Structures are given as C-alpha cells and as structure tokens.
Chain A
C-alpha cells in the first residue's frame, strides 16, 4: 500500500511544554482517517506541524516520499472555522477562489478558469446560490462548507481537515461526509481531526488515537478498541459505554460539537 503521509518521530513543544511527543504516523493513500483524542491532546498541532504551520522541535514529515515544501500543490487544508474573522469584507466566491492561489503565479490574478473552478466547488457543497453573499451572513454549517469548497478548489491529492463537523447540523454533517466519500472514491486521501467517537466506525477506514503520544493507529476495526480508547482518554471517557467499539455503528444521531 502506498504511503501518502509519513510522519516520523514528530515532537512539538510550546515553550518547554511538549504538545506532541515522538509521534509516528503513516497514512496510506486513498483512505479516510480520523485523528481523535481528548482536548489538548495535540490533534490540531499534529495537523499544523504536518503542514509546516508549526515548527516541530524534532522529526520529519514526508508527503509521497518527499518533503512537504516540494509537495504543497498536492495538499489541501481546511482550518478550524473559528480560526478566521467571518466579518471580513469578502464574498463566498472570493474565499473559494483563494483555493486556486497556490496554483497561480505571483503576479497573476484569478481569471475565468479559476472562477469556473471555484463555482464548481461551490456547486459540490450546494452553496452556488450563495456565491455573492458576504461570508458573515452564512450559518455556521454553511461557513464550514465554504471552507470545504475552498479545499475542493485546491484540487489536491491529500486533504487535511481540522474539525469539519464542528457545530454543524445533522443534514450538513451528512452532506460533508458524502463529499469526503466522493474524494476517497476518486483515490484521494483525507485526514480529519474528529471529535465525535460515536461516528468513527461509521465514517472512517483508519483512525489515529493521539494523546501527546501516539496511542494507536491503523484500520478502525483493529485499533478502535476499548483498551486503546481508555489509554487515550483515561478516566474521562463517559461516552465509551454507549459507543460501539470496533463494531458497525447504527445511525445514532451525531452529537453536536462543543
């Protein structure tokens, strides 16, 4: 199996406090992988250091065997929705167009081809009618889909998403997971920081359990076990009893994000 993302010995510290300690993680090509773990476990930091947004103290990240800097055009990124100011004076279409900037040269302005790509991406997330709205006029779920559309416009091989289901309603969650499955069907690799343990077995092929260290990673039916979850969440896992561990999940209503 071809490895899309290969993370070796990754250690990240803020000040003298380690946030990630010696993490190894391999993401095979063409899978949907969830990164789960308690708050403050370093999930977002793992994503950001993989993308070069946070400088690791040690370790290496390779994308299809090469350093990240050489493979940027193969990567798409969906940051947390709360990471930007939604009152910013710009339209939905403009934000999605930003997904094409990585493919444009320094002095080229986005033209007709870029607009067409951005509109197609908006179509995919069912927001084409909102193209000319100011982004602050959208609901939380719609804003999340704008970020998703921007990533789709990047036309990448690997998609990194930081809590794409955060604060969205059940219908939007369904729409987003369908898009992720379409990406997988097209041979793309998707890595998602995820919060809701209830849906892990239903949505994902692979899962990485992180709490500063890597607790376990691999196919969901192998590693999403009670023992691993206890090791990751410690005593804080009240959800454990109700979630179906390493077994097909029924269609339980998705828990709202916090």
Chain B
C-alpha cells in the first residue's frame, strides 16, 4: 500500500493513526467521567491559544502552538470550575458560554491574523478543521512527546485512575487524592486535544475523543479491553480516512477521519453482540415469543 511507502502519505497516515489511538484511549475517561462536553468545550477553547501563540512568536512550530492550545484549554476548564462553584449557573450552561466566548475570541484573532502578510501562508485557518496533509515529521515527534507521557501517567496509576473514575467518594474515603486525579485526567484529555488539532481541527476534535470510547464500550464489559479497543478503533478510522482522502483531489483528511470514526461507532451501536440495538431487539422478540 502506498500509504506507508510514499513519504508524505506515510507521515500523514502515521500522524493520523497516532492521534486516533491516543485520543481513543484517553477519551474513554472523558466519556466514563461524563465529561464529553468538557472535552468539546476545551478543544474549541484551544483556538485562541493557537492564534495567540502564533501572534506572539510568529512561528508555526508545533511545540509552541501546543503550549498555546493547552494553556487556553486549561484556562477554559479552570474558568468553568470557578463559574460553576461561585455562581448559580449550572454546568451545561457554563460550558456553552465558555465554549462560545473562547471560540469567538479565537475567530476574531484568526480573522485579524489572516490580514497579516506572513500569517496567510502559515495556514492557521487549517486549525479549524485540521489539515492532515500538512503534517511533517516534526509534528509526529511533537505528538509523541505529548502523548506518551499522558498515556504513561494513566498506566502507572491505572488502579487508582479506575477507582476514581468509577467511585470517587469511595476513593476519597480510602485516602486517594481525588482532586489531584481530577486535575491529572483533565490534563491528559487536554494532551489528547492538543495532539489532534493539527489533523482534525478544534471543531471536530471532540468526536475523536468520544466516538472511539462509545464504540468500544459496545464490545466489552472490561475497562482494560475498552481502552485498547478504543485506541484500535481510533487508529483504524484514521487510517481509513487517510486512505480515502488520497482517492480524490482536495478531499480533506480530518473530516474523512471523523466520518470513518462515526461509521465505526454506528456499526458498533447497531451490531455489537449483547449491547447492540439489533441484538437487544432480537432478544426482546425471543422473550416475547417464549412468554
């Protein structure tokens, strides 16, 4: 397959698969902790961070943009926490509000930057929907430098992370620093977002966090299997999306990856044994006939 032999294609494919695997794995915790919307808000909130990082440094280096994106996303999460704690605004309303404020600010910065002479060719606009075709080897290294420590942290503290995700009250009663794990899990999700914004963009990134987890949950009842499956689904969808985008001129890779991931999710929701819609319908019919 020329996906892995052609240099440019190989970079794009490997980058997309890295993103799919890392965000699939880490996204499981966003879904199980009921923070899928937080992931969405944080990825939108990364946009002004990217624009500001470029504005201040004039460089399109992945590490600099990552720092900008991560700071903005974490600032949004922190702000959300403050709003929910100190006002009577409920968290869904606060999420919508913060998403809009950050994303709006990001769009303003972006439109300003577009008129700057050196910024147009920097392709900042591609961060909206991603531009996988522009991935270079340095971007892959940047993904690994951010992604591997995030994965490692979760694996090192696996029993604790699992307990805190399942039953935070019990975890606190045996003395685990639950607040600390909240921060850790938020930070690793930000890491996943940061990794994905170049490839699929801030708007579609939350799909790459949520969809693999939802699909994987259909096929297994064990968290250990679920995270591995989610990583696999994410990588598979990324590879399929990258391959599809080579078939036609000007087909954007990021949205194709998200579409492929959605397809996997829909198939899982319908056909997975045990939890799939089809299966549950069949069983209901059997129960009805038996009675």
Contact = CB atoms under 8 A, between A and B. Distances in A.
B175 A91 contact: no
A101 B163 contact: yes
Contact of A110 (B156, B159, B172): B159
B221 A72 contact: no
Given A72-B174, A102-B174, A89 B221 contact: yes
A89 B223 contact: yes
Contact of B167 (A69, A75, A83): A83
Contacts of B169: 48, 53, 77, 79, 83
B112 interface: no
A247 to B, nearest CB: 36
B175 A109 contact: no
B288 to A, nearest CB: 21
A52 B32 CA distance: 25
Contacts of B158: 109
Contacts of B32: 85, 88-89
B82 to A, nearest CB: 16
Contacts of B162: 90, 94
A150 B169 CA distance: 14
Nearest to B32: A88
B16 interface: no
A79 B159 contact: no
Interface residues on A, range: 20 to 34
A130 B287 CA distance: 23
A102 B174 CA distance: 5
Contacts, number: 69
B141 interface: no
Contact of B160 (A51, A53, A101): A101
B217 interface: yes
Contact of A89 (B160, B176, B220): B220
A107 interface: yes
Contacts of A85: 32, 166
Interface residues of B, number: 25
A175 interface: no
B275 to A, nearest CB: 10
A185 B240 CA distance: 63
A8 interface: no
Interface string B169-184: 1101111100000000
Given A89-B221, A89-B222, A89-B226, A101 B159 contact: yes
Contacts of A90: 162, 166, 221-223
A98 interface: yes
A134 B162 CA distance: 15
Interface in B136-174: 156-160, 162-163, 165-167, 169-170, 172-174
Contacts of A134: 221
Contacts of A52: 172-173
Interface string A199-220: 0000000000000000000000
Contacts of A136: 221
Interface in A74-105: 75, 77, 79, 83-85, 88-91, 94-95, 98, 101-102, 104
Given A89-B223, A90-B222, A98 B170 contact: yes
A69 B175 contact: yes
Nearest to B216: A89
Contacts of A77: 169-170, 173-174
A90 B28 CA distance: 13
B78 to A, nearest CB: 21
A110 B163 CA distance: 13
Given A89-B217, A90-B222, A95-B166, A101 B173 contact: no
A75 B174 CA distance: 8
A69 B176 CA distance: 11
Given A91-B222, A98-B163, A79 B170 contact: yes
Interface of B: 32, 156-160, 162-163, 165-167, 169-170, 172-176, 217, 220-223, 225-226
Interface of A: 48, 51-53, 69, 72, 75, 77, 79, 83-85, 88-91, 94-95, 98, 101-102, 104, 106-107, 109-110, 134, 136, 150, 154
Given A75-B173, A84-B167, 16 more contacts: A48-B169, A52-B172, A53-B169, A79-B170, A89-B32, A89-B223, A89-B226, A90-B222, A90-B223, A98-B163, A98-B166, A98-B167, A101-B160, A101-B174, A109-B159, A150-B170
10 contacts: A48-B169, A52-B172, A77-B173, A79-B170, A88-B223, A89-B220, A89-B221, A90-B162, A90-B166, A101-B160
